[in-house]
Amino acid sequence: MNHNPQPLLAERLAALRRRIGAAAAGAGRDPAGIHLLAVSKTQPAAALRAAAALGLRDFGENYLQEALAKQAELQDLPLAWHFIGRIQRNKTRPLAERFQWVHSVDRLAVAERLNAQRPPALPPLDVCLQVNLGGEATKGGVPPARLPELARACAALPRLRLRGLMALPRPTPDPRAQRAQYAELRRLREALCSEGLELDTLSMGMSADLEAAIYEGATWLRIGTALFGARRKGTV
């Protein structure tokens, strides 16, 4: 297809910014503290280029090979790349070398490899720990009970900068249930902060539940479909 995706994208982005602004106002928050991560999995490089032309700079990818191919195609643009997918232990090097953020660290072996592989010429890698709030067997994430130990160990790794927590909660259309899940992540961060860790980040909120996440203190919203439209069938 040869159509220009940009007008539709611009409309979706404007609508998204209105949603974010309304929720921030309702929550009494400064929208400047709520960052937009454009989740671009399954989207072609041209869609990211169109989004970048509208001022978006931070892109979130779930699949390493797909991300690396897009990075190669878009290297003329000053983008920041965030990895938000499942991490294979033996595929950490490109994450350490080519990403600014990794949101989905959930075990120490992966954190230690990222720390060892982060190139000295780059600043420390910004990381979030992914928490498995609902104990879902099919999802990654550290169980809340094991989070403090992992957080302390990661905070001690000099080539990582532990920024906060990330969650991918069970989808539910009930706004109160959405907020309850995000409130749990907020409380987990507060507990770590009260132990002395300096965590400034809550990576939470997607297209369907960003309002709940904003009310509970999200600092990075990870938005895919509300920006790029529906993903192709059969893709995650």
Ligand X SMILES: *Cc1c(COP(=O)(O)O)cnc(C)c1O
Pairing state between β 58-61 and 220-223: unpaired
207 touches ligand X by CB under 6 A: yes
- Interface pick for ligand X out of 13, 34, 38, 39 (rule CB under 6 A): 39
The position carrying tokens 């000295």 is 120
172 touches ligand X by CB under 6 A: no
The H-or-E segment that residue 116 falls in is: helix 108-117
What's the min distance (Å) between Cβ of 164 and ligand X?
Answer: 15
What's the min distance (Å) between Cβ of 226 and ligand X?
Answer: 6
Burial of 12 (0-12, 13-18, 19+ CB in 10 A): buried
Residue 40 CA to residue 228 CA, distance in Å, equals 8
223 touches ligand X by CB under 6 A: yes
169 touches ligand X by CB under 6 A: no
* Contact positions with ligand X (CB under 6 A) in 49-78: 62
Q: Which is nearer to ligand X, 159 or 178 (CB)?
A: 178
What's the min distance (Å) between Cβ of 37 and ligand X?
Answer: 8
Residue 6 CA to residue 190 CA, distance in Å, equals 40
The distance in angstroms from the start CA to the end CA of the chain is 22
- Interface pick for ligand X out of 129, 131, 206, 212 (rule CB under 6 A): 206
Task: Point out which residues bind ligand X (CB under 6 A).
Answer: 39, 41, 62, 84, 168, 206-208, 222-226
